[in-house]
Amino acid sequence: MKKTILTITLFTLVILSILVITKNSQTATTIRRNDHQPQKQEIDSKVQVLDLTCEYKINPIGIDVKAPRLSWKISSDQNNIMQSAYEINVMDENGVSLWSTGKIFSDQSVNIAYNGVPLKSQQRAYWQVRIWDNNNDATKWSEKAYWEMGLLDSNEWLAKWISIPNEEKQKNRPCPFFRTNFNTSKEIKSARVYITSLGLYQLFINGEKISNDLFSPGWTSYNKRLQYQVYDVTNSIKKQNAVGAIVGDGWYRGKIGWLKPNNFYGDKLALLLQLEIDYADGTSQTIISDDNWKVRTGPILSSSIYNGEIYDARLENKDWTNYSFNDNNWRSVTIINHSKDVLIASQSDPVQGVQELKPIKLITTPKGETVLDMGQNMTGWLRMKVNGPKGDKVVLSFAEVLDKDGNFYRENLRSAKATDTYILSGDGEEIFEPHFTFHGFRFVKIEGYPGTPDLEDFTGVVIHSAMEPTGTFSCSNTLINQLQHNIQWGQKGNFLDIPTDCPQRDERLGWTGDAQVFCPTAAYNYNVAAFFTKWMKDLAADQRKDGLVPHAIPNVMPDSDGGSTAWADVAVIVPWTIYQVYNDKRILEEQYPSMKAWVDYIKNRAGDDYLWTEDNHFGDWLAFKSEQASDYTGATTEKDLIATAYYAYSANLLAKIAHVLRKEKDAKIYEEIVKNVKDAFISEYVTPNGRLVSHTQTAYCLALSFDLLPDNFRSKAAKYLADDVRKFKHLTTGFVGTPLLCKTLSDNGYSDLAFMLLERKDYPSWLYPVTQGATTIWERWDGQKPDGSFQSVGMNSFNHYAYGAIGEWMYSYIAGLNIDPSNPGYKHMILAPHIGGSLTNAEVNYESGYGTITSGWEINKDEFCYSVCIPANTTATVILPIEETEQMTVNSKSIYQVCSDVRTISNQTEITIGSGSYDFRCPTASLK
């Protein structure tokens, strides 16, 4: 009897726990299962677990995160499905348990950190998960997924750094080719190659290129952090084998930035390679780069990021990566001394050729130039088929635009030559594409091509970091849809291992200000969690000891070049954005010392009056009427005002982050700083009538968006902003003010002006470049003027994503998809669409960590239709501009039959819903 009563009591406690979790699904608990308590049997449920990821990747190999985070999605054709508990099993390749959680009562399904047996280098872990839903029904176990560790200790690198001996000291040096042979004699179980380089490498085994990855090992702060990659080459290994690698200058030794002509990180290219082979009988073999390797130069005479590649096919070594190749005339490599302590596993998405484009037409310009039009400003290169005599030279030059007469235009590339040269071998049809360079271009001038070029002989290879696409936005305005296209292509063209400012001229640096303002939009378009995590670690590595953050990361400029407001604040803003979008608490933990150091740097520079003055800043960069200088605005926003505003903003974010990390002492310190900075801001920059001393759109956007004004001044300041927009009838903002402009207007009751600015077609506006044929975002509002002439050549990129930050407002305000700050990662979301301007529909589809979210509205004659899709294990609050709900239906039923939580607040209807698909409808007359 006592045992029966105990069982009933335990069962009652379980049911009560589930009810509590169901009622408040945002609070995750971690109560381990009592294995003796009664459990519901696993059912053949329509709920299933799928899309398992580890550190944002599917089955990654070669990671060095010792407590990797595991995530999954839940699929269901039912509504209101929540996870009430989960169970994870992790085992090694022999089925031995490494971690078994038991049943954990929690609704968490994103970024659950492994907490099992410590993992060893090269160890593979297999894992499965099952969940219980809010009906306490268990799913089947998911399909198995895995992750594999890299080399966790630098002492495990047996390989040696090999280089080419006695290399001539010249400006442009040929790329070295490395090779070796080896044999195997047993049945192979698995083989992994661990590889990196000083420079960029391409790897081959037995005549085949091993990976689609490009520009490996990527660009990091090389002397502090050098990534290595790991590839599964099990199926590439035979009894007789050859390994070969080409190494190019890349960012390591080639021209980059302005500080040095070459050799910023070093003057010797080198390769480090370790091939680990495990045999079926339990033995193993290790092949390493050492003094047994051979090296020579070949057909790549020079390869430069800025200038392009020169390739002489007459110098090719046919079959040089095959075992039978005779390398007797190759030289022995030299061993160099370089640290292995800086080696880290690859952390971001690799750069790859993601898309191919065919040219749309062949042009003969007024000057007689032969020019291909790719139809899209893109980043990558041209693959060319050619057949001609030995020694013929084909020159491919790259440009973004044609001038007003229709001629090839390259002045805006500054000193970048952006030219590929191919010298034919004469051996029939030849195919050329470069190895270690990329170009930003739409147009390609062809010189020296034998015969008549045919469009079919050319293909544009689009490259960028292989981020997972996550978001799409569309609406009834075709020009705005083209703007969205341009925003996404601007991101693709500039997210090339780091967030560059531009892909075409002699710059292509990781400017912090551009990335800071664009990060929220970037996170709608693509999954950028791994991308920014890696880049933030380089920021911390290059950050000065006193907290100063360089202007660009990795830093290739003087150490004194940094500390600009709105640029260096990326140190705080990007980690906070990644946390909000992906519920990634670890990036806050890992970047906290960097964030704190930056805010403390500002504190020291501002001093006791809490006003950040005197230091050099970029200000509201490239704002309206910026012909005279890059920071001239016409209606100038004082840089000290901007700096003090960002001081308050970053300190406020840091206080919030401290709360998240339970650093309450720090939180109080920075909250007090925010209060003091606000008081100083009001005293210094705000008149008694609420007018700012810099009476500009940017100044009011900062003051309102960063909550720097007392409540009784907010409406006055918003009116000043609105009056200024009405006066100009256009924006006057630059890099700092533009991302905030429409949001500030709409948040303060002037959404009509925000829609007006978005839909404006004349200069200056977002749609003006679209009307001029732009296919990416321009650096300047008037990069190309209506008469076809150009802005100054010193700074006029036609692929510069910063002004594309308007995408955040399009996704969040027009289509209505918003993060709930108290439930990050879209665990609970706010869906608040807005009708405005001439738009008759708008829709966003977004792949969150939980699944696909859809938010789309349409005005259909006299009816307003709003469609929503909410993934399992999430909830949403829908906010619609409707006060009268009597005629509102959901899925063809009265709203009160479907939704239990409906309330009217301030002329709006708020509805809390669970997962599923919902179709809201009401007469347009009901809209407010």
Q: Write out the catalytic residue numbers.
A: 507, 779
Peptide bond into 217 cis (omega under 30): yes
Start-to-end CA distance of the chain, whole Å, equals 64
CB neighbour burial string for 134-144, b if at least 16 within 10 angstroms, e if fewer: bbebbbeebee
CA-closest candidate to residue 627, choices 785, 799, 411, 403? 785
Cα–Cα distance, 506 to 259 (Å, whole number): 12
Adjacent-strand bridge partners of 351: 214, 465
Adjacent-strand bridge partners of 331: 295
φ, ψ (nearest 5 deg) of residue 431: -120, 130
Peptide bond into 764 cis (omega under 30): yes
Residue 519 Cα distances to 33, 81, 182, 568, 801, angstroms: 41, 31, 47, 14, 10
Peptide bond into 554 cis (omega under 30): yes
Cα–Cα distance, 432 to 602 (Å, whole number): 51
Cα–Cα distance, 568 to 516 (Å, whole number): 9
Cα–Cα distance, 219 to 553 (Å, whole number): 10
Strands 875-880 and 908-913 come out as antiparallel
54 C-beta neighbours (distance < 10 Å), count: 21
Residue 526 Cα distances to 111, 278, 491, 844, 845, angstroms: 18, 37, 9, 13, 12
Strands 69-75 and 270-279 come out as unpaired
Cα–Cα distance, 661 to 588 (Å, whole number): 8
In 438-531, DSSP assigns E strands to 439-447, 458-465, 471-475, 495-496, 498-499
3-state secondary structure 767-790: HHHHHCCCCCCCCCCCCECCCCCE
Quick one: DSSP state of residue 765? S
Three-state DSSP at 168 gives coil
3-state secondary structure 789-857: CECCCCCCCCCCHHHHHHHHHHHHHHCCEEECCCCCCCCEEEECCCCCCCCCEEEEEEECCCCEEEEEE
Q: In degrees, to the nearest 5, what angle opens at C-alpha 756 toward C-alphas 752 and 758?
A: 120
CB 865 within 8 A of CB 836: no
Burial class of residue 28 (count of CB atoms within 10 Å of its CB; 0-12, 13-18, 19+): middle
Adjacent-strand bridge partners of 310: 302, 421
Give me the half-sphere count of Cα atoms (radius 13 Å) on the Cβ side of residue 373: 14
Q: Going by C-beta distance under 8 Å and a sequence separation of 6 or more, which residues neighbour residue 82?
A: 21, 22, 25, 107, 133, 134, 872, 873, 875, 914, 915
